[in-house]
C-alpha cells in the first residue's frame, strides 16, 4: 500500500510518500518539508495569513517533489492522506483543497488525518511498537500525555492548561535577546550556565494529576531578568546562561515528574511491553530527553524517541496515520472539512490553554 501525505497546519509545507508491503515495516519513500521560518522571522512568531499564502503557493510543488524523490507517479498511489486539523485554518484549508483536487483528478480515496494523531502514531512508523503506549507530545504548539490504544483511540491523561513548553523556550529566547527558534539557543546557553543560581517555580507539581502549566515560568524569567537588569544595569553573559539553565531545568523537572505520574496511570493497565514515546520539537532537548529516559528506566519502561526530523512537523507521519486509518476502513469524501480545533480525545474536558496553533486540541 502506498500513501501520499500532505501537511500544512502550521509553518511547514510538507508532502511525503509512505509504502508498506505486507507485514514488513512501513517505509518512508520520500519526505519533503518546506519551512517558512524566513517569512515569519521579522514578526517574532507565525503570521497565519502569511503562512496560508505560502502553503497555497508551495503545496503542489511539494507534492511533485515528494513523488519525484520517491520515483513514483500518482498512478502508483493508493490513497491521499491530508491533515484536516487542528491548526491554523488557512493553512489546513490549503492542504485539504489540494488533496481534494488530487482525489477528484485521480479518483483516489481521500483520508483526513488529525495532525496530533500523526505525531502520536509516529513511533509505530519508526519503531513498529504495539498498542497501547504512552506518548508525550511536546512542541511549540502542543503538550499532552496520550494513552494511545488504537489508530483512533486516544485518552488524554493530562496536558498544558496554558502555553506549550516550546512557546516558553521561544519567549525566553526573545526576552534574553537570543535567536529563534528559542529551544536550541536557550539549550546552548544553558550548557554554560548554573541551573541553581536563580530559583524558578515548578508549576502545578502541588496539584495531583498530569496537567501542566508553563506560562508562569515565562513570567518568572521576565521578573528575574528585570531584577538583575535593575540591580546591575544589564545582563552579563554568565547571567544569561544561568537564567537559561534555571529555566530549562524547571521545564525538565516538571515534564519528568508529570511523566512519572502519567506512567503510573499507564502501567496500571498492565501493558505487555510498556513503552514511553515522545514527539515534538522540544523532545530534541538533551536535558529533557535524558530526564525522560531516566524516568522510563526507573519504571522498567522502554523509551522511544523518533529521529528529530520525524518528531517535528512532517508529512510522513500524516501518510502513515492515513494508512492506518485506510486499513481500518476509514475514508472521507469531498465533504471533508478543515478544522481549526480537533481534540484527539473527545471524552475528556477541553484544556484551557492556547498555543501558537490556537486553542489546544
Ligand atoms: O514540533 P515543532 O517543530 O513544531 C510545532 O510546534 O509543532 O516544535 C518547535 C518547537 C519550538 O518552540 C522550538 O523552540 C522547540 O520546539 N525546540 C526546542 C528544542 N529544539 C526545538 N525546545 C527545547 N530544546 C530544544 N533543543
Ligand atoms: Zn505538530
Enumerate the H helices of the chain as residue ranges.
37-40, 48-70, 89-106, 115-127, 165-175, 182-190, 215-232, 237-267, 286-298, 308-311, 316-327
pLDDT at 357: 45
Query: DSSP character for 161?
Result: S
Q: What is the pLDDT of residues 255-305, one digit of tens each?
A: 999 999 999 999 999 999 999 999 988 998 999 999 999 999 999 999 999
Q: Which tens digit of pLDDT belongs to each residue from 188-244? A: 999 999 999 999 999 999 889 999 999 999 999 999 999 999 999 999 999 999 999
Angle between helices 182-190 and 237-267 (to 10 degrees): 110
For residue 232, how far is its CA from the centre of ligand 2 (angstroms)? 40
Per-residue cell: 239: 547571567
Per DSSP, the three-state class of 8 is: coil
Residue 78: pLDDT band (50, 70, 90) is: very high
Please identify every residue whose CB atom is under 5 Å from ligand 2, which is an ion.
313
User: What's the gap in Å between 41 CA and the centre of ligand 2?
Assistant: 19
pLDDT band for 180, please (50, 70, 90 cuts): confident
Once rounded to an integer, what is the mean pLDDT over residues 7-30? Answer: 96
Atom of ligand 1 at shortest range from CA of 251: 23
Q: Of the bound ligands, which one is closest to the alpha carbon of residue 191? A: 1
User: Taking the model in full, what pTM does it have?
Assistant: 0.91
Measure the CA–CA gap between 158 and 233, rounded to whole angstroms.
41
157, 146 Cβ separation under 8 angstroms: yes
d(CA 327, CA 348): 27
CB 91 less than 6 A from any atom of ligand 1: no
Name the closest ligand to CA 7.
2
- 312 CB near ligand 1 (under 6 Å): yes
Q: What is the end-to-end Cα distance of the chain in Å, rounded?
A: 30
In this prediction, residue 352 has a pLDDT band, given cuts at 50, 70 and 90, of: low
Share of the chain above pLDDT 70, in %: 96
Q: How many CB atoms lie within 10 A of CB 261?
A: 18
Amino acid at each position: 500500500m502506498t500513501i501520499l501525505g500532505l501537511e500544512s497546519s502550521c509553518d511547514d509545507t510538507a508532502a511525503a510518500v509512505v509504502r508498506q508491503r505486507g507485514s514488513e515495516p512501513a517505509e518512508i519513500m520520500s519526505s519533503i518539508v518546506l519551512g517558512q521560518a524566513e517569512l515569519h522571522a521579522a514578526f517574532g512568531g507565525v503570521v497565519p495569513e502569511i503562512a496560508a499564502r505560502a502553503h497555497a503557493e508551495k503545496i503542489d510543488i511539494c507534492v511533485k517533489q515528494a513523488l519525484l524523490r520517491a520515483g513514483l507517479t500518482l498512478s502508483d498511489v493508493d490513497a491521499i492522506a491530508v491533515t484536516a486539523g487542528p491548526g491554523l485554518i488557512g493553512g489546513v484549508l490549503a492542504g485539504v483543497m489540494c488533496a481534494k483536487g488530487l482525489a477528484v483528478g485521480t479518483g483516489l480515496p481521500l483520508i483526513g488525518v488529525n495532525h496530533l494523531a500523526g505525531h502520536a502514531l509516529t513511533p509505530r512508523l519508526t519503531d513498529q511498537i504495539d498498542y497501547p503506549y504512552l506518548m508525550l507530545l511536546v512542541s511549540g504548539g502542543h503538550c499532552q500525555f496520550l494513552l494511545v490504544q488504537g489508530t483512533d483511540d486516544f485518552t488524554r491523561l493530562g496536558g498544558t492548561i496554558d502555553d506549550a513548553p516550546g512557546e516558553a523556550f521561544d519567549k525566553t529566547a526573545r526576552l534574553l535577546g537570543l535567536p529563534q527558534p528559542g529551544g536550541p539557543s536557550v539549550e546552548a546557553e544553558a550548557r554554560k550556565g548554573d541551573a541553581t543560581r536563580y530559583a524558578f517555580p515548578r508549576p502545578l507539581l502541588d496539584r495531583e494529576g498530569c496537567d501542566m502549566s508553563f506560562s508562569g515560568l515565562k513570567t518568572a524569567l521576565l521578573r528575574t531578568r528585570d531584577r538583575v537588569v535593575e540591580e546591575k544595569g544589564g545582563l552579563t553573559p554568565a547571567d544569561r546562561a544561568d537564567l537559561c539553565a534555571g529555566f530549562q531545568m524547571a521545564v525538565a523537572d516538571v515534564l519528568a515528574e508529570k511523566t512519572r505520574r502519567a506512567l503510573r496511570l499507564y502501567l496500571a493497565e498492565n501493558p505487555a511491553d510498556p513503552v514511553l514515546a515522545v514527539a515534538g520539537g522540544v523532545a530534541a532537548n538533551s536535558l529533557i530527553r535524558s530526564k525522560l529516559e531516566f524516568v522510563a528506566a526507573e519504571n522498567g519502561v522502554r523509551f522511544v524517541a523518533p529521529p528529530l526530523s520525524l518528531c517535528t512537523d512532517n508529512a510522513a507521519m500524516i501518510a502513515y496515520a492515513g494508512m492506518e486509518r485506510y486499513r481500518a476502513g476509514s475514508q472521507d469524501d469531498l465533504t471533508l472539512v478543515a478544522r481549526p480545533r480537533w481534540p484527539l480525545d473527545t471524552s475528556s474536558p477541553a484544556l484551557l490553554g492556547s498555543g501558537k496553533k490556537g486553542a489546544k486540541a
